[in-house]
A and B are shown apart, each in its own frame.
Chain A
Amino acid sequence: MITLLNFTIGYGQRILLQDVNAEIADGRLTALIGRNGTGKSTLLRAIAGMNRQYTGEILINGTAIAAMSHEQMARTISIVTTERIRIGGLNCRDVVAAGRAPYTNWIGRLTAADRRAVYEALDAVGMREYADRTIDRMSDGECQRVMIARALAQDTPVILLDEPTSFLDMPTRYELCTLLHDLAAGSGKCILFSTHELDIALNICDSVALIDPPGLTVQPSVEMARSEQLRRLFSLPGKSTEFLSGIM
Chain B
Amino acid sequence: MKTRNSILFLVLGALAVLLFLLDLAVGSVSIPVRQIVAALFGGDCPEDVSNIVLNVRLIKAVVALLAGAALGVCGLQMQTFFRNPLAGPYVLGISSGASLGVALYVLGAPIVGLPAVFMSLGVAGAAWIGAALVLVLIAAVSHRVKDIMVILILGMMFSSGIGAVVQILQYLSRDEALKSYVVWTMGSLSDVTGVQMWILVPAVVAGLVISIGTIKPLNLLLFGPEYARSMGLNVGRTRSLLFLTATLLVGTVTAFCGPIGFIGLAIPHVTRMLTGNSDHRVLMPATMLSGAAILTACDIISKALVLPVNAITALLGIPIVMWVVLKNSRTFAS
Residues of A in contact with B (beta carbons under 8 Å apart): 48-50, 70-71, 73-75, 77-79, 81, 83, 85, 87-90, 94, 98-99, 101-102, 104, 106-108, 154
The answer to whether B220 and A98 have CB atoms under 8 Å apart is yes
In the complex, what distance in Å separates the CA atom of A79 from the CA atom of B215?
23
Chain B residues whose C-beta falls within 8 Å of the C-beta of A74 in the assembled complex:
230-232
Among residues 219 to 251 in chain B, which have CB atoms less than 8 Å away from a CB atom of chain A? 219-220, 222-224, 226-227, 229-234
CB-CB under 8 A for A108 and B232, given A81-B227, A85-B227, A89-B278: no
Contact string against A for B residues 106-148, beta-carbon threshold 8 Å, 1 for contact and 0 otherwise: 0000000000000000000000000000000000000000000
Chain B residues whose C-beta falls within 8 Å of the C-beta of A98 in the assembled complex:
219-220, 222-223, 231
Q: Size class of B's contact patch?
A: 20 to 34
Cβ of A210 to closest chain B Cβ, rounded Å: 25
CB-CB under 8 A for A87 and B226, given A70-B232, A101-B233, A102-B231: no
Cβ of A95 to closest chain B Cβ, rounded Å: 8
Chain A residues whose C-beta falls within 8 Å of the C-beta of B226 in the assembled complex:
50, 81, 83
Chain A residues whose C-beta falls within 8 Å of the C-beta of B223 in the assembled complex:
85, 87, 98
Chain B residues whose C-beta falls within 8 Å of the C-beta of A88 in the assembled complex:
272, 278
Chain B residues whose C-beta falls within 8 Å of the C-beta of A73 in the assembled complex:
230, 232
- The answer to whether the Cβ of B55 comes within 8 Å of any Cβ in the partner chain is no
The answer to whether A154 and B231 have CB atoms under 8 Å apart is yes
The answer to whether B279 and A90 have CB atoms under 8 Å apart is yes
Cβ of A33 to closest chain B Cβ, rounded Å: 23
In the complex, what distance in Å separates the CA atom of A71 from the CA atom of B229?
9
Residues of B in contact with A (beta carbons under 8 Å apart): 212-213, 215-216, 219-220, 222-224, 226-227, 229-234, 272, 275-279, 281
Cβ of B84 to closest chain A Cβ, rounded Å: 13
In the complex, what distance in Å separates the CA atom of A90 from the CA atom of B232?
20
In the complex, what distance in Å separates the CA atom of A45 from the CA atom of B272?
33
Chain B residues whose C-beta falls within 8 Å of the C-beta of A50 in the assembled complex:
226, 229-230
Chain B residues whose C-beta falls within 8 Å of the C-beta of A94 in the assembled complex:
278-279
The answer to whether B222 and A90 have CB atoms under 8 Å apart is yes
CB-CB under 8 A for A75 and B229, given A87-B223, A89-B278, A98-B223: no
Chain A residues whose C-beta falls within 8 Å of the C-beta of B227 in the assembled complex:
79, 81, 83, 85
5 A-B pairs with CB atoms under 8 Å apart are A74-B231, A89-B272, A89-B279, A90-B222, A108-B216
Given A101-B231, A154-B231, 7 more A-B residue pairs with CB atoms under 8 Å apart are A70-B234, A88-B272, A98-B219, A101-B219, A102-B232, A106-B216, A107-B281
In the complex, what distance in Å separates the CA atom of A83 from the CA atom of B275?
26
Chain B residues whose C-beta falls within 8 Å of the C-beta of A90 in the assembled complex:
222, 277-279
In the complex, what distance in Å separates the CA atom of A81 from the CA atom of B281?
26
The answer to whether A99 and B281 have CB atoms under 8 Å apart is no
Contact of A101 among B213, B220, B275 (CB under 8 A): B220
Chain A residues whose C-beta falls within 8 Å of the C-beta of B277 in the assembled complex:
89-90
Cβ of A84 to closest chain B Cβ, rounded Å: 11
The answer to whether A108 and B219 have CB atoms under 8 Å apart is yes
Chain A residues whose C-beta falls within 8 Å of the C-beta of B216 in the assembled complex:
101, 104, 106-108
Contact of B278 among A75, A77, A81, A87 (CB under 8 A): A87
Cβ of A131 to closest chain B Cβ, rounded Å: 12
Which single residue of chain A is at the shortest CB-CB distance from B224?
A83
The answer to whether B213 and A108 have CB atoms under 8 Å apart is no
Cβ of A139 to closest chain B Cβ, rounded Å: 14
Chain B residues whose C-beta falls within 8 Å of the C-beta of A49 in the assembled complex:
229-230
Cβ of B282 to closest chain A Cβ, rounded Å: 10
